[in-house]
Amino acid sequence: MRNSLLPCLSLLAAALATPAAAQQPKQPPLVIGSQGSFFVGGRDVRSDTLSVLSAYSASGTVTAEQMYVRYQVPVDAKRPPVVLIHGCCLTGKTWETTPDGRMGWDEYFVRKGYPTYVIDQVSRGRSAANPTLINSVRLGKTPPSETPPVFAVGHEAAWVIFRFGPDYPKVFEGMQFPLAAQGEFWKQMVADWIGTLPTPNPTVPALSELAIKLDGAILISHSQSGIYPFQAAALSTRGIAGIVSIEPGACPAATGDLTPYLQIPTLVLWGDYVDQSSRWAPRLKLCREFAAAVAKAGGKTELVVLPEIGIKGNSHMLMQDKNSLQLADWLTAWLDKHVAPKGP
């Protein structure tokens, strides 16, 4: 078996030229003051269906609903830090090296002087999901109809949701997403347990705790998590120094209580082709109504649709598009103006 696999492994190795090494332009060294990871939140859960395997006991206590956070603080860091919050079916990998091997926003913000905190949403990635209900179904204690609705999004559906084109596999003209590395993007997608979580999603209070712990943070969210910084602000505005909501799945209702949002510098940012998407066009419309309502009430929410300011071709995954660092430059300029971060 060993020998028969060798040619195969060689071919695989040749095909797998490290994207990160092969395509990333040479950068000056990155000088980090501190880095590490920790969790926010979490609660203990007792269960008798932890396992159906004889090697591991069925009964016991697990910790669930904690949020994983990985951070890097540059030397001579600015304040406040940024928190990068990924969207549906993805993890913190969203913000790291792009599918075609370019630098992600996680590193670029550090190079711009921002302490940068990348999270995995509760029950996703390195933030544990709770499998006890799955085992309960297997053991006949829970009916199959109550099996937890853990879902994956297929390439074909994701193509349209992420607005790479109008239908799979058609491509919007001028598309900035690095489609030549599409397969690397599909590898980023993970099963999504959000339908198994209580309301509000435990990621929301965890973000609030994190912002307070950091004594001020700019919450940068995306898509499914777009609403989370607003929901965190509704819990407490404490620690929320700014909100950047990139293509949110929802904005707060224009007719709701806008008080939590009036004092927080907020940007709601959209890419291109939105009016060609039956999923996203109504969401943009509702966000426009929210931004207008906040403005009318004297707040600081700005909504920007990139093609309306001359930046064209961006997909829903704009932090990975070919012009992603140009967008990061634009975004940090916006933050400089509206949140006014302080130097060291």
Among 170, 174, 191, 282, binds a second copy (CB under 8 A): 191
Site for a second copy in 46-85 (CB under 8 A): 47, 50-53, 56-57, 59-63, 66, 68, 70-71, 75
Number of residues that bind a second copy (CB under 8 A): 102
Stretch that binds a second copy, among 121-129, 267-275, 310-318, 332-340 (CB under 8 A): 121-129
**220's tokens:** 């940068």
Nearer to a second copy, 235 or 262 (CB): 235
List Cα–Cα distances, 63 to 60, 106, 122, 142, 203, in angstroms: 10, 28, 12, 21, 15
The residue from 212, 250, 262, 304 that contacts a second copy (CB under 8 A) is: 212
**307 contributes a contact to a second copy by CB under 8 A:** no
Among 79, 126, 300, 312, binds a second copy (CB under 8 A): 126
Residue 339 CB, nearest distance to a second copy (Å)? 21
Instruction: Could you list the beta-strand ranges (E) of 208-294.
Output: 217-222, 240-246, 266-270
For residue 39, give every residue at least 6 positions away whose Cβ sits within 8 Å of its Cβ, in sequence order, or none. Answer: 66, 67, 68, 69, 127
How many residues in the chain? 344
Q: Point out which span in 91-99, 270-278, 306-314, 333-341 binds a second copy (CB under 8 A).
A: 91-99
Tokens representing 153 are 């999004």
Give yes or no for residue 116 binding a second copy (CB under 8 A): no
Token output for 246: 């990139």
Cis peptide before 344 (omega within 30 of 0): no
Residue of 82, 234, 244, 274 interacting with a second copy (CB under 8 A): 234
- Mark residues 7-46: x for contact with a second copy by CB under 8 A, - for none: --xx-xx--xxxxxx--x--x-xxxxxxxxxxxx-x-x--
Is 263 a binding residue for a second copy by CB under 8 A? The answer is: no
Q: Where are the beta strands (DSSP E) in 79-202?
A: 82-85, 116-120
Cα separation, 131 vs 50, whole angstroms = 7
**Hey, which residues between 169 and 188 contact a second copy (CB under 8 A)?**
183-184, 186-188
Q: Is the peptide bond before 198 cis (omega within 30 degrees of 0)?
A: no
What stretch of H or E contains 71? strand 60-74
Asked if residue 202 binds a second copy (CB under 8 A), the reply is no
